[in-house]
Amino acid sequence: MSTQDFAELQLFITGPTFIRPEVREAGLLPEFGHRDSENNKRFKPIMENLKKLAGCADDYHTIIFNGSGSSAMEATVRSLVADGETVLNVSVGAFGDLYHKMAVVNGKKAVQLKFAAGEAIDLGQLEAALTEHKPACVTFTHNETSTGVTNDMRAVCALIRKHGALPLVDGVSLFGGAAIDLTGSGAATYATSTQKSLALPAGFGLLFVTPEAVEKAKTVTNKGFATDIVGQLGRASKNQTLTTPNCTLANQMCVQLDYIVHTEGVDKRFARHLQMQGMVHDFVNSLPGFELLAPEGHRSPTVTAVRVPAGVSVADLKKVKEAMRAKGYLFDPGYGKLNTDLEEKGQRVLIRIGHMGDITPEMLAAYLDALKPELAK
């Protein structure tokens, strides 16, 4: 085997995302002991900078899980849904379905409210489901990566709270690319991961948790070990992870979050994402027969899903992917299962364009220029 065989592709998928050279180099920083003072040098600023990105303070605890976004999400289900209680899983796509699956396979009493691909959460239907099922917890996806739909976190959380339930939010593909203003959002937990808009390798699940959610977790039994947010918090409150962390990723994360907060600037980062979202919308609107999937007001700042013209097949999109690979890019030919379902029903299939993390407008412009002739074929 030769490392020369590994292609250097620029990733325009929806995670993992492009990693800046400085962050790659930070992977060479020294390993350290996770119960030593060297740990604090990395994780103290990491914890502080995560809160700056989230827009919260001491009103939320931060936990870093080994694993990925799913690890943080699963911990919320295990720790916050007690025996006999109902969890309502609201889904606007594949990742809303994933939260439901986590509840089901962990033996929770779970009911699902499902919206069609491309739709956002309808508050009227949510209210009816809350009234009918009287859940203790409600999960939903802030930014649905399979469809590029963003839900109104504040409005959804407010409605859930009105019915006395805890909102558990999946923010995996948004966090780091847009303001979430966690303080006052109503979210009891907010889960995310490193490999999307934070532009880091995968390896940690990140969770913001309110003290009220921690109090609830103390009353829940059978929380598991790594999925117990109370046990996790014991270590997190000392800026540590419960189990041995990936030191390489911790070094990279320390450097990257410092860059985001102190060099690029959080507001500039969010503005860059909006600029790139606008570029992608203009691109799609310039292509005859192509159409943005998400409705206006619910279009993601980090990922755009696009309906391709009728007659374009999943197989055609695989050819576009290979043509783009030859140009040095990794193209996203849509979320696999969703496209298979759409094709089977005779509906138009989708492509996605990831515009998150450390991709620059210049990189995106070059990508869209390279993609245009392939989509026109």
Ligand X SMILES: Cc1ncc(COP(=O)(O)O)c(C=O)c1O
Q: Which of the stretches 53-61, 165-173, 256-264, 339-347 binds ligand X when contact is defined by CB under 6 A?
A: 165-173
68 sits near ligand X (criterion: CB under 6 A): yes
**Which residue in 145, 151, 189, 227 binds ligand X (CB under 6 A)?**
145
Residue that has been written with the tokens 């503005």 in this structure = 271
Angle (CA) 144 146 149, round 5°: 40
CB of 178 to ligand X, least distance (A): 13
**Which residue in 45, 69, 148, 177 binds ligand X (CB under 6 A)?**
69
CB of 95 to ligand X, least distance (A): 4
**Is 170 or 374 the residue whose CB approaches ligand X more closely?**
170
**Cβ neighbours, 10 Å, residue 211:** 12
Which pair of structure tokens corresponds to residue 86?
């109902």
**Which residue in 74, 97, 119, 170 binds ligand X (CB under 6 A)?**
170
**Which residue in 112, 173, 210, 241 binds ligand X (CB under 6 A)?**
173
**Is 193 or 227 the residue whose CB approaches ligand X more closely?**
193
15 backbone φψ class: left, alpha, beta (φ>0; ψ -120 to 50): left
**Is 202 or 363 the residue whose CB approaches ligand X more closely?**
202
**DSSP codes, 193-223:** ESSSTT-S-S-EEEEEE-HHHHHHHHT----
List the strands of the sheet with 350-354, edge to edge.
291-292, 303-307, 350-354
CB of 156 to ligand X, least distance (A): 15
Q: Which of 242, 344, 250, 336 is CA-nearest to residue 13?
A: 336
**Which residue in 39, 193, 197, 277 binds ligand X (CB under 6 A)?**
193
335 sits near ligand X (criterion: CB under 6 A): no
**Which residue in 129, 172, 209, 342 binds ligand X (CB under 6 A)?**
172
Annotate each residue in 80-109 with x if it binds ligand X (CB under 6 A) or - if it does not, as one string: ---------------x--x-----------
Size of the site for ligand X (CB under 6 A): 13
Which pair of structure tokens corresponds to residue 243?
């189990």
Residue environment code for 218-257, b if the CB has 16+ CB neighbours within 10 A, otherwise e:
eebeebeebbbbbbbbebbeebbbbeebbbebbbbbbbbb
Q: What ranges make up the beta strands (E) of 217-302?
A: 291-292
Q: Which of the stretches 45-53, 63-71, 129-137, 332-340 binds ligand X when contact is defined by CB under 6 A?
A: 63-71
Q: Which of 136, 155, 153 is CA-nearest to residue 89?
A: 136
141 sits near ligand X (criterion: CB under 6 A): yes
Distance CA 102, CA 77 (A): 7
**Is 15 or 167 the residue whose CB approaches ligand X more closely?**
15
* Touching ligand X, residues 1-30 (CB under 6 A): 15
Q: Which of 116, 75, 125, 67 is CA-nearest to residue 96?
A: 116
CB of 137 to ligand X, least distance (A): 17
70 sits near ligand X (criterion: CB under 6 A): yes
CB of 164 to ligand X, least distance (A): 26
CB of 352 to ligand X, least distance (A): 11
C-alpha distances (whole Å) from 312 to each of 27, 127, 288, 373 are 41, 38, 13, 15
CB of 202 to ligand X, least distance (A): 6
Beta bridge partners of 170: 141, 191
List the strands of the sheet with 166-170, edge to edge.
61-66, 204-209, 189-193, 166-170, 137-141, 86-91, 109-114
Q: Which of the stretches 62-70, 211-219, 288-296, 365-373 binds ligand X when contact is defined by CB under 6 A?
A: 62-70
**First-last CA distance in the chain:** 36
CB of 3 to ligand X, least distance (A): 25
166 sits near ligand X (criterion: CB under 6 A): no
CB of 150 to ligand X, least distance (A): 11
Whether residue 348 contacts residue 342, with contact meaning beta carbons closer than 8 Å, is answered with yes
Chain positions contacting ligand X, by CB under 6 A: 15, 68-70, 95, 98, 141, 145, 170, 172-173, 193, 202
